[in-house]
């Protein structure tokens, strides 16, 4: 008789209310397409493999094409709503009135074949002013009402931006959880380790997106970085190193992975079932640093993201601009420009490098002695393309946020 190897049991960490969340979450944005639609039958096999092996956190959003409806259909087919937690996101940038809040939420319930959402996020909340705008539309009272009725169990937000703004947002509302981009390359950018620890200090579970930086930490590693990983005695894959670096931190509650094959689901479950916080050795940390050094060998500005140069009197996100500029050369120009657009233009108060008036205040505090004004000019020339300027103008004209 064939012996089937049993996958070890899933690991869990607690949310703010003491509920168990699987440390591996399922990101539903990357379900496989069949033509112009999601391949439901394929996605069903992958989702059910995850559920049957203890994954209980599933993340989607209103604006992920077909994702909510596909996931809702899978839950309906398998009658397993009570086994999992649904996380989805309000497209607040489309909301113009309190009626819109109700409209989008009810549509999401219909798509997902459910009458409640476990974890409801303000999608890509950019700054406190954006949240304040939502409050003027009645969002705070609306959320309170939904929570009291049991239609929303936990309220949170997802975030792309700098550490300072993230920490301000943490104080803007009594959130139940948050979701940030975080990986070993973004340790000191985006919300960063400082933001992660600030959220944990407030008792918030932190959901991690982009743990592999959109595949950058797997498929697009420099050859020398791949050699460093391959030569290590642990024989972890690049993805496993990235996941383990995250799970080594007890402040990390759940890591989202956009799994779209059975093999990927099984591999990630196996890793998540054999890991614990605090197990990294000094040699493990050294390997990560070596890999980072290889990735960053082509960076343009030696900015560490410490943010001692902040705040800028004119609102420039200096570390964010340099991070995006460096990403253009450490990864590719498209990724760097996309990052810059999200973190500077898609917000109520823009933080573009072009707002610099060359006052020089920032340079007085930079421990790396970077010629910030000079480097910002270079970054601006490459990051603020005609497409960027059009997007920035559109945000202002149509009051997207």
- Given the structure tokens 């460096």, which residue do they identify? 326
The answer to whether residue 364 scores a pLDDT higher than 90 is no
Question: Regarding predicted confidence, which is higher, 196 or 394?
Answer: 196
pLDDT of 8 reads 67
Q: Quick check: 123 pLDDT over 70?
A: yes
Q: What is the mean pLDDT of residues 11-25?
A: 96
Mean pLDDT is lowest, of 138-147, 236-245, 336-345, for: 336-345
Asked if pLDDT for residue 300 goes beyond 90, the answer is: no
Q: Is the pLDDT of residue 283 over 60?
A: yes
What DSSP designation does 3 have?
P
Mean pLDDT calculated for residue range 360-382: 90
**pLDDT exceeds cutoff 90 at 298:** no
| Span 160-179, average pLDDT | 94
pLDDT of the residue at 342:
87
Does pLDDT of 304 surpass 60?
Answer: yes
What are the structural domains, with CATH classification, of the chain?
12-281 (3.20.20.100), 318-398 (no CATH)
Measured CA distances, 382 to 109, 183, 328, 360 (Å): 43, 25, 9, 21
262/147 Cα distance (integer angstroms): 35
Q: What is the pLDDT of residue 394?
A: 82
H or E, element range at 206? strand 206-209
Judged against a pLDDT cut of 90, whether residue 108 lies above it is answered with yes
Of 75 and 1, more confident: 75
- Could you give the CA distance from residue 158 to residue 166 in angstroms, rounded to a whole number? 10
Closest to 155 in 3D by CA, of 203, 108, 121: 121
Per-residue model confidence (pLDDT) at position 3:
39
The three-point CA angle 276-277-278 to 5° equals: 120
- Is the pLDDT at 1 greater than 50, yes or no? no
DSSP structure class, residue 362: G
Q: Is 333 helix (H, G, I), strand (E, B) or coil?
A: helix
The predicted structure's pLDDT at residue 259: 95
Lowest mean pLDDT among 41-45, 202-206, 253-257, 330-334: 330-334
Predicted pLDDT of residue 197:
98
User: Across 284-369, where does the E strand assignment appear?
Assistant: none
Q: What is the pLDDT of residue 294?
A: 93
C-alpha pair distances (Å), 103 with each of 7, 64, 87, 113: 42, 17, 18, 16
| Residue 383 pLDDT exceeds 70 | yes
Query: Is pLDDT of 4 > 80?
Result: no
Over residues 375-392, the mean pLDDT reads 92
Q: How confident is the model at residue 399 (pLDDT cuts 50, 70, 90)?
A: low
**pLDDT score for 302:** 80
Q: What mean pLDDT, rounded, does the chain reach?
A: 92
Q: Is the pLDDT at 2 greater than 80, yes or no?
A: no
Question: Reduced to 3 states, what is the DSSP secondary structure of residue 397?
Answer: helix
At 233 the pLDDT is: 97
Give which of 257, 285, 251, 280 is closest to 269, Cα–Cα. 257
Instruction: State mean pLDDT over 162-175.
Output: 95
């Amino acid at each position: 008789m064939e012996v089937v190897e049993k996958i070890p049991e899933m690991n869990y960490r607690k949310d703010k209310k003491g509920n168990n969340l699987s440390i591996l979450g399922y990101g539903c944005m990357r379900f496989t397409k069949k033509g112009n639609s999601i391949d439901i039958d394929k996605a069903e096999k992958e989702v059910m493999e995850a559920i049957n092996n203890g994954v209980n956190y599933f993340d989607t959003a209103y604006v992920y094409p077909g994702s909510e409806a596909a996931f809702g259909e899978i839950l309906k087919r398998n009658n397993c709503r009570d086994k999992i937690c649904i996380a989805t996101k309000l497209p607040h940038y489309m909301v113009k009135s309190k009626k819109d809040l109700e409209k989008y939420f009810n549509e999401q319930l219909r798509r997902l074949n459910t009458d409640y959402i476990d974890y409801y996020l303000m999608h890509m909340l950019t700054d406190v002013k954006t949240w304040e705008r939502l409050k003027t539309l009645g969002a705070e009272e609306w959320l309170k009402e939904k929570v009291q009725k049991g239609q929303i169990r936990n309220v949170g937000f997802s975030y792309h931006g700098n550490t300072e703004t993230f920490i301000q947002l943490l104080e803007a509302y009594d959130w139940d959880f948050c979701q940030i981009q975080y990986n070993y390359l973004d340790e000191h950018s985006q919300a960063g380790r400082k933001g992660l620890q600030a959220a944990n200090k407030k008792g918030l579970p932190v959901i991690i997106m982009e743990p592999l930086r959109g595949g950058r930490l797997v498929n697009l590693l420099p050859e020398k970085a791949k050699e460093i990983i391959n030569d290590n005695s642990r024989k972890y894959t690049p993805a496993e190193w990235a996941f383990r670096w995250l799970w080594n931190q007890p402040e990390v509650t759940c890591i989202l992975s956009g799994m779209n094959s059975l093999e990927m689901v099984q591999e990630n479950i196996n890793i998540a079932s054999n890991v614990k916080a605090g197990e990294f050795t000094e040699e493990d940390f050294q390997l990560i640093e070596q890999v980072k050094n290889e990735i960053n060998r082509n960076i343009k500005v030696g900015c560490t993201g410490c943010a001692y140069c902040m705040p800028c009197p004119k609102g420039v996100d200096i570390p964010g601009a340099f991070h995006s500029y460096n990403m253009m050369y450490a990864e590719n120009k498209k990724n760097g420009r996309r990052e810059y657009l999200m973190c500077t233009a898609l917000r109520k108060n823009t933080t573009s490098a072009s707002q610099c008036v060359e006052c020089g205040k920032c340079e007085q505090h930079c421990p790396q002695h970077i010629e910030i004004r000079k480097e910002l000019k270079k970054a601006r020339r490459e990051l603020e393309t005609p497409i960027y300027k059009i997007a920035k103008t559109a945000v202002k004209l149509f009051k997207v946020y």
